[in-house]
Amino acid sequence: MSLHLVKDTSAAIGVLDLQGGVYEHLDHLERLGITGRRVKKEEDFAALTGLIIPGGESTCLSRLLDTFALKEIIRKYCRRGMKIWGTCAGAILLAKKIVNEEPCLGLIDIEIERNSFGSQLDSFVAEAVVPEVADEPIPLTFIRAPKILRTGKNVKILLEMDGYVAAAEDENILVTVFHPELTGCLALHRYFVQKCGILTSENIPQGFDPFWKSHSWTQFSRIAGSADKNSKLF
């Protein structure tokens, strides 16, 4: 993988490192030339311009947020202007309303229904053009995904599918019910990085990174024997 230059080297985006697809997001950020930082405790939030809450399991994530007393900290940094992107379980955590459940962070005015397509076996892939994000179709990976059933008046719908919303945003928060970090497409990460006010180099692929492989993220994984990202499994 080639090294990319980022124009604003002080800007960092955090990835909430409690559970779920942490490394896949770190890998996508690196491909955009962005400093990605694992975020686990209060000190890690200092000077973050953005935070990604990855997909995973929202009940588990919510309990871990309680265990590490991070809910109020995330709300506080959001009030101070930190942008947040929630993918799938991350979107569930950010919703103001969750069907039949108490909300978790309640930071964006959407109503969301967990596991809305059925079981894990009802996971699927699709693609769609999201005009605000890219001209080319974006691959969409839905894994036991939720559906956004309602959006508030300050929320802009970015992608509407068969009777539900799959991507939306307000001034501070972006939510997607699918997983761009599980494909080679960088378009949504680029979109979020720009929402955070960070400029990426023009040398970076606009849509697909041809060097991305499904196991690329393993360079960040602790199963490689160390939390050091230079410790490569392959």
The residues that touch ligand GLN, with contacts defined as CB under 6 A, are 55-58, 88-89, 92, 114-115, 143-144
What gap in Å lies between CA 108 and CA 146, rounded to an integer? 15
What gap in Å lies between CA 189 and CA 192, rounded to an integer? 5
Instruction: State the nearest-atom distance from the C-beta of 120 to ligand GLN, in Å.
Output: 8
Instruction: State the nearest-atom distance from the C-beta of 20 to ligand GLN, in Å.
Output: 6
Instruction: State the nearest-atom distance from the C-beta of 4 to ligand GLN, in Å.
Output: 28
Asked if 172 and 83 count as a contact pair (C-beta separation under 8 A), the reply is: yes
* Residue (57 or 136) nearer to ligand GLN, CB: 57
* Residue (89 or 155) nearer to ligand GLN, CB: 89
- 181 an active-site residue? yes
Residue type, 106: G
Helices (H), the chain: 22-31, 58-67, 71-79, 89-94, 187-195
Which residue carries 């992608």 as its tokens? 159
- 202 an active-site residue? no
Instruction: Pick the catalytic residue from 88, 104, 185, 196.
Output: 88
* Residue (128 or 224) nearer to ligand GLN, CB: 128
- 43 an active-site residue? no
